[in-house]
Structure 1
Amino acid sequence: MPTEWRRALAVVAHPDDLEYGVSGAIAKWTDEGREVSYLLATHGEAGIDALDPADSAEVREREQRAAADAVGVSTVEFLEHRDGVIEYGPALRRDIVAGIRRHRPELVLTINHRDTWGGTAWNTPDHRAVGRATLDACGDAGNRWIFTELIDDGLLPWDGVRWVAVAATSSPTHAVDVSDTVERAVRSLLAHRTYVESISDESPEDYCRSVQDAATGAGAEQFGGVPAVAFELFAR
Structure 2
Amino acid sequence: MTDPLITQLRPMPEDWRRALAVVAHPDDLEYGCSAAVAAWTDQGREIAYVLATRGEAGIDTLDPERCAALREREQRASAAVVGVSVVEFLDHKDGVIEYGTALRRDIAAAIRRHRPELVITLNHRDTWGGVAWNTPDHVAVGRATLDAAADAGNRWIFPELTEQGLESWNGVRWVAIAGSSRPTHAVDATAGLDRAVRSLLEHRTYIEALTEEAPETYARDFLTRTTTATGERFGGRPAVAFEVFGR
> Which bin holds the TM-score, normalised by the shorter protein?
over 0.9
Residue 165 (str. 1) matches residue 176 (str. 2)? yes
Confirm whether residue 126 of structure 1 aligns to residue 137 of structure 2. yes
CA distance in 1, matches of 2:164, 2:111: 14
Correspondences of 1:65-214 after superposition (within 5 Å): 65-214=76-225
* Aligned counterpart, 1:233: 244
Structure 1 equivalent of residue 49 of structure 2: 38
In the alignment, what sits opposite 2:7? none
Q: How far does the alpha carbon of each residue in 1:198-229 deviate from its partner, in whole angstroms, 9 at most, with x for none?
A: 00101110011011112212211211111000
Q: Mark the runs of 5 or more structure 2 residues left unpaired by the alignment.
A: 1-11
- Percent sequence identity over aligned pairs: 70
C-alpha displacement of 1:189: 0.1
Q: 1:120: how far off?
A: 3.3
Separation (CA, whole Å) in 2 of partners of 1:226 and 1:171: 19
SS in 2 for 1:161: coil
- Structure 1 position 5 matched with structure 2 position 16: yes
Q: Report the TM-score, using the length of structure 1 for normalisation.
A: 0.99
1:222 aligns with 233
Q: Deviations for 1:171-221, whole angstroms, at most 9, x for unmatched residues?
A: 110000011110000000000000000001011100110111122122112
Structure 1 CA distance for aligned equivalents of residues 232 and 128 of structure 2? 17
Instruction: Identify the residue that residue 3 of structure 2 maps to in structure 1.
Output: none
CA distance in 1, matches of 2:237, 2:74: 29
Alignment match of 2:65 (pick from 42, 54, 63): 54
Matched residue SS, 1:149: helix
Distance 1:78 1:211 in 2: 26
**Contact 2:113–2:166 (Cα < 8 Å) also in 1:** yes
| RMSD of equivalent CA atoms | 0.6
Q: Is the 8 A contact 1:21 1:211 kept in 2?
A: no
Aligned counterparts of 1:125 and 1:119: Cα–Cα separation in 2: 15
Q: Provide the rounded CA distance (Å) in 2 between the counterparts of 1:166 and 1:45.
A: 24
TM-score scaled by length of structure 2: 0.95
Q: CA deviation at 1:110?
A: 0.3
The answer on whether the counterparts of 1:20 and 1:215 sit within 8 Å (CA) in structure 2 is no
CA distance in 2, matches of 1:215, 1:12: 19
Residue 72 of structure 1 aligns to which amino acid in structure 2? G
Helix, strand or coil: the match of 1:38? strand
Q: Distance in 2 between matches of 1:215 and 1:102?
A: 33
- State the alpha-carbon separation in 2 of the partners of residues 130 and 36 from structure 1: 18
**Structure 1 segments of 4+ aligned residues over 2 angstroms from their partners:** none
